[in-house]
Amino acid sequence: MTDFRPETLAGTDRYLMTRYRQPSGSDTLVISFNPVGMDIAPMGFGSEFLLAKGFDHVHVAEAKHDFYQSLPWDRFAELIAPVLGDYDKVFTYGQSLGGYCALFYAAAAKARPVALAPKLPPHPYALRFQKNPVWAGTRIIHPDLPEVPRTPFDPVVCYDPQNPIDNAFVTEFVMPVYPGATLVPLDHAGHLVAKRLLRENRLKELVLSVFRTGDVPKIELDPTLLPDYNLKQAVDAMDRGDFDAARRCLDVVVAENPAKPPFIEIADYIERSGRGFHPMPRPRPQTLRKAFGRLDFSGDGAPKDALLRMAQAYVRLCDFDTALRLAETAAQLDPDCRRAQAMQKKLGRLRRIQARGAAPAD
């Protein structure tokens, strides 16, 4: 990629706006925003791709977990205004939190938004769907989407209608403001639609078509290859007692992301079928901490509880090695869990006795 020289439009300890220009010029500007979890940096979501494809680019980064709340709409409008006169077409673009921003700030940039699974995680509309909401108590400063100026360009919104949080944002916030929005529904694609489209080699087709011609291509995905679809099918198969079909569906889900297997559904499978689940997924400890570290493990259905249920099922199947590994993983999730500690101790003793070829005492 060409060595583009960044131009800082604005920078504080809460946000950073960085501009990049093509050496030969471009009539199109794409402004991108980050999803949750990224920090302040001059490049971020989509930056390298957009520059490689010949667009001028402004990347807007936020301090980690600020949710762009420190960048008011009118301040963004003031900062972006001086560059808009150089372009015939302007787009705002992002995934998840970035998709929310693409919609929220679009009118300030006189832009057409391209929003992939737009979501504002700490907003009450999203929190109501979460059993243990991670972002509860986060202060929301931005007004809701219907309360900010409306861009004259109807947005493109790609999302999974089967995802309750994403569907709620589209139906409750996007469509009332933009009834003419072009929706790209991808059933069972999950919240990370950008990742799914990238995996299916369709993301480039979508965004380049919109940015270059304004046309939105028709995109359909095979649901039998999608983890969310297979997870639902696995649950349905267990309900009707078809454990062979359930196992096939769970295998698809595990193969998609071995680092984050569906613990609770696997536990249901083991308990209801009386079968093992081999090979047993065992995420790396650092992956577990990243995936589950902020969850409240006190409630039923938490990953730790599912792991302990699975361990108990493997004890009944006399597979003490697998049971011990599951108990160890549960202890990694919650080091203070006495149940996990006690199970580790008992299973460790059983495994040592088995290794010596002796039977455990009563």
Q: What kind and span of H or E run contains 91?
A: strand 89-95
pLDDT digit string (tens) for the chain, length 362 residues: 567 889 999 999 999 999 999 999 999 999 999 999 899 999 999 999 999 999 999 999 999 999 999 999 999 999 999 999 999 999 999 999 999 999 999 999 999 999 999 999 999 999 999 876 778 889 999 999 999 999 999 999 999 999 999 999 999 999 999 999 999 999 999 999 999 999 999 999 999 999 999 999 999 999 898 999 999 999 999 999 999 999 999 999 989 887 777 877 887 888 788 887 877 666 554 444 444 433 333 444 566 777 787 777 777 666 777 778 888 887 887 777 777 777 777 777 666 655 554 444 43
98-146 per-position pLDDT tens digit: 999 999 999 999 999 999 999 999 999 999 998 767 788 899 999 999 9
Cβ atoms 159, 114 nearer than 8 A: no
Domains of the chain in sequence order = 7-221 (3.40.50.1820), 257-356 (1.25.40.10)
Angle at 232 between CA 35 and CA 37, to 5 degrees: 15
**Which pLDDT value is given to residue 127?**
93
Across 253-291, b (16+ Cβ under 10 Å) vs e yields: bbebeeebbbbbbbbbbbeebeeebeebbbbeeeebeee
Q: What are phi and psi of 256, to 5 degrees?
A: -65, -40
